[in-house]
């Protein structure tokens, strides 16, 4: 069983807020948890957050996690022309690759028109994780040119549900099981003027539930993978 824990590293709850509590408080807690559980994850950074918090980017890399791109400043690709979208992707990679290799991408809001696969391939991206099975994507893990699509399995709020509900959901997911969350979900957001589903069980409860999810998969003997490792596995199958 293959499982990926991924994080979309952005300012707090776009487009509703412009604060960065998730960066200041949430991301360090997440890195502490992943270190405690000895699990490697993929962190899709916006270039803006990488520029503002370079020490956190370096910590991600130093602790053996993967750095990916979440576009430049959380621009939605479905709201841009292809040319403007291409430029934001290239700008993000220019910033992020100053820290290390970047071969994975996730589009903000999981909005990714198919014509962007060519843009990713031309810019050295090997793995995309912008499609979502819970939004109706049915092609599974698949190659588009030389870019491997590894879709997300659930919306991020699922991992904040009470465990009695989660224990029903997780076994029903198709493999590989790809989870994502945001650093801002791991600071208390209950008093913010944002959607209810972005507020409930945020803060320390979210940390507790993520730890429980990891323990659940460890008890199942799951293999935790970074996104770039999927390319190694499925690329070999494609060549064979």
Cα separation, 67 vs 109, whole angstroms: 18
Give bridge partners of residue 5 from the DSSP assignment. Answer: 179
- CA dist 59 and 43 (Å) reads 11
The pair of three-digit structure tokens given for residue 79, joined into one six-digit string: 């709201």
Q: Hey, what long-range contacts does 81-85 have (CB within 8 A, 24 or more apart)?
A: 82/113, 82/115, 82/116, 82/119, 85/116, 85/119
Q: What is the per-residue DSSP string for 91-136?
A: HHHHHHTTTS---EE--GGG---TTHHHHHHHTT--EE---BGGGT
Judge whether 70 and 108 are in contact, CB under 8 Å. Answer: yes
Q: How far apart are CA 52 and CA 93, in angstroms?
A: 15
pLDDT attached to residue 138 = 87
Query: How do 177-181 and 223-224 pair as beta strands?
Result: unpaired
Cβ burial 221-237 (10 Å sphere, 16+ → b, else e): ebebbbbbbbbeebeee
pLDDT attached to residue 112: 95
3 state SS of 146: coil
pLDDT of amino acid 239: 53
Quote the CA–CA distance of 50 and 111 in Å, as a whole number.
21
Contacts 24+ apart (CB under 8 A), 51-55: 51/95, 52/20, 52/23, 53/20, 53/23, 53/27, 54/99
∠ CA 137-140-145, rounded to 5°: 100
The domain that holds 83 is classified in CATH as 3.20.20.370
Q: Tokens representing 141?
A: 């893990």
Structural domains counted in the chain: 1
Q: What pLDDT is attached to residue 236? A: 61
Q: What is the pLDDT along the chain (240 residues), one digit of tens a residue?
A: 999 999 999 999 999 999 999 999 999 999 999 999 999 999 999 999 999 999 999 999 999 999 999 999 999 999 999 999 999 999 999 999 999 999 999 999 999 999 999 999 999 999 999 999 998 898 889 999 999 999 999 999 999 999 999 999 999 999 999 999 999 999 999 989 899 989 999 999 999 999 999 999 999 999 999 999 999 998 765 655
pLDDT recorded at residue 235: 78
Range of the domain at 14: 2-239
User: What pLDDT does residue 237 have?
Assistant: 57
């Amino acid at each position: 069983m293959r499982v990926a824990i991924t994080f979309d590293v952005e300012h707090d709850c776009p487009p509703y807020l412009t604060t960065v509590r998730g960066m200041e408080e949430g991301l360090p807690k997440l890195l502490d948890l992943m270190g405690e559980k000895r699990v490697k994850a993929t962190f899709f950074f916006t270039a803006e957050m990488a520029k503002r918090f370079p020490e956190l980017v370096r910590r991600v890399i130093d602790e053996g996690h993967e750095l990916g791109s979440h576009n430049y400043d959380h621009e939605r690709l479905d709201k841009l022309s292809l040319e403007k979208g291409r430029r934001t992707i290239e700008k993000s990679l220019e910033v992020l690759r100053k820290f290390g290799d970047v071969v994975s991408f996730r589009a903000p809001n999981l909005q990714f028109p198919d014509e962007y696969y060519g843009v990713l391939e031309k810019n050295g991206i090997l793995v995309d994780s912008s499609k979502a099975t819970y939004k109706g994507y049915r092609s599974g893990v698949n190659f588009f040119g030389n870019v491997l699509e590894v879709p997300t399995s659930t919306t991020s709020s699922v991992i904040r549900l009470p465990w009695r509900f989660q224990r029903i959901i997780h076994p029903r997911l198709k493999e590989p099981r790809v989870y994502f969350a945001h650093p801002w979900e791991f600071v208390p957001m209950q008093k913010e003027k944002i959607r209810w589903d972005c507020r409930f069980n945020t803060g320390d409860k979210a940390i507790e539930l993520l730890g429980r999810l990891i323990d659940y998969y460890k008890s199942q003997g799951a293999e935790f993978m970074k996104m770039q490792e999927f390319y190694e596995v499925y690329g070999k199958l494609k060549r064979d």
